[in-house]
Amino acid sequence: MSYASTDGAPTGRVLVVDDDRVNRMLLRQNLEHAGHVVRTAENGREALDVLRDDPPDVVLLDILMPELDGVAVLERLKADDALNHLPVIMISAVDETESVLRCIEMGAEDYLPKPFDPVLLRARINAGLTKKRLHDLEHERVRSVFSRFVPEHVVEDVLERTDEDLRLGGSREVGTVMFTDIRGFTAFTEATEPHRVIGLLNSYFGEMIDAIFAHEGTLVGYRGDGLLAVFGAPIAFSDHADRALAAAREMLEVRLPRFNRWLGDRGLGDGFAMGIGLNSGSFMSGNVGSARRLEYTIHGDTVNTASRLEGMTKELGRSVLLADATCWALSQRPDDLDYVGEFDVRGRRSTLSLWSLAAPAS
């Protein structure tokens, strides 16, 4: 992380790699005087160990070294996804112009000629730290975007799948789509103060999103007082249907009853019911939007059918409806899986076999 010195210049952690002990000492003294935290390495192999153990903000890398020279170190660093963003400034002698040009082409930021000019050293380091700081800020911005719809522990996996534009490219995935809706909420909002409605809705969403994340699902978006989620994208899971059904069960058997008890304790009524639609199959997914605002989205017939099934839960008197595709995608069918029947579903030419969870015995 970069900070600022007393004169306002950025400071940070610098790794100096040079086989000449005097050069290392001079660079270290100069950099520490400017407020930087400095580590040194006397050869390329030691430098790679330091880089992997504790990555710095900027690397000063000598070209000519025994065992593993600076060009080889730079090549390995740029091939490492965890390190290739680090700014590297090559240290070169006057007669190493060809090697310097090669390093610039490989991705080095700049070079520092020997003997060292303190003013030039300061300028090179400051430029490198500024680039590293901008990279870190952008990384955190994108992390905050993705953490809104995937569990925190899979954010890094998602970031690794983004392109240079920091987007997930469009792809066709296979997974299970979930639509949820809270019943009777519209009538409640008409008779309740807006600030209380929003607070209540946030509490409800908090419970349901925690259930989705607990089973490693992805929150795609809000649909009024409902949610759209997917299991198996953008991170693939072979047991996506099992995860979706487990999340639905947790919503209905744990989260919703707890939310309704919370309402009752505050004198806000007898509580609400839920409807959940699950459908499995292929769909298109990816990030859409601009550089200022991105949203992860999914499209396709699988998604539309899940929405229709959620809408049918009320008329069929069921809290959850599973399409036959989701039932077949389960790696283990629960004992309480209940066949509902064959039904026409709007937007589909043929009927669908629908399943639900049997009501617990009283």
User: How far apart are the C-alpha atoms of 221 and 244, rounded to whole Å?
Assistant: 16
Instruction: Read off the pTM.
Output: 0.65
Residue with tokens 């059918």: 305
| pLDDT tier, 319 (very low <50, low <70, confident <90, very high otherwise) | very high
| pLDDT tier, 35 (very low <50, low <70, confident <90, very high otherwise) | very high
pLDDT digits (tens, 9 = 90+) for 264-302: 898 887 889 999 999 999 999 877 766 666 677 899 999
Q: Which residues contact 16 (CB under 8 A, 6 or more apart)?
A: 24, 27, 28, 31, 38, 39, 40, 41, 60
pLDDT digits (tens, 9 = 90+) for 114-172: 888 889 889 989 988 888 888 887 777 767 766 666 666 566 666 665 554 444 557 88
Mean pLDDT value across residues 21-47:
93
Instruction: Give the C-alpha distances (Å, rounded to integers) separating 257 from 92, 178, 264, 265, 281.
Output: 69, 20, 10, 12, 30
Q: Which residues contact 219 (CB under 8 A, 6 or more apart)?
A: 148, 149, 150, 209, 212, 213, 227, 228, 229
Predicted confidence (pLDDT) at residue 3 exceeds the cutoff of 80: no
- Number of helices followed by number of strands (H, E) in the chain: 12, 15
- The residue with greater pLDDT, 232 or 192, is 232
| pLDDT tier, 9 (very low <50, low <70, confident <90, very high otherwise) | low
- The residue with greater pLDDT, 292 or 60, is 60
Instruction: Give the C-alpha distances (Å, rounded to integers) separating 41 from 16, 28, 51, 143, 284.
Output: 6, 11, 10, 32, 49
Mean pLDDT value across residues 345-359:
91
Residue-level pLDDT at 337: 95
Range from 59-68, 158-167, 237-246, 257-266 carrying the lowest mean pLDDT: 158-167
* Cβ–Cβ under 8 Å, residues 248 and 278: yes
Q: Which residues contact 148 (CB under 8 A, 6 or more apart)?
A: 219
Mean pLDDT value across residues 203-207:
93
Residue-level pLDDT at 285: 85
| pLDDT tier, 186 (very low <50, low <70, confident <90, very high otherwise) | confident
Residue-level pLDDT at 206: 93
Residue-level pLDDT at 278: 98
Residue-level pLDDT at 71: 92
Predicted confidence (pLDDT) at residue 18 exceeds the cutoff of 80: yes
Q: How many CB atoms lie within 10 A of CB 265?
A: 8
Q: Is 299 helix (H, G, I), strand (E, B) or coil?
A: strand
Residue-level pLDDT at 342: 95
Residue with tokens 């997974």: 175
248 half-sphere exposure, CB direction, 13 A CA radius: 32
* Cβ–Cβ under 8 Å, residues 212 and 232: no
Residue-level pLDDT at 163: 52
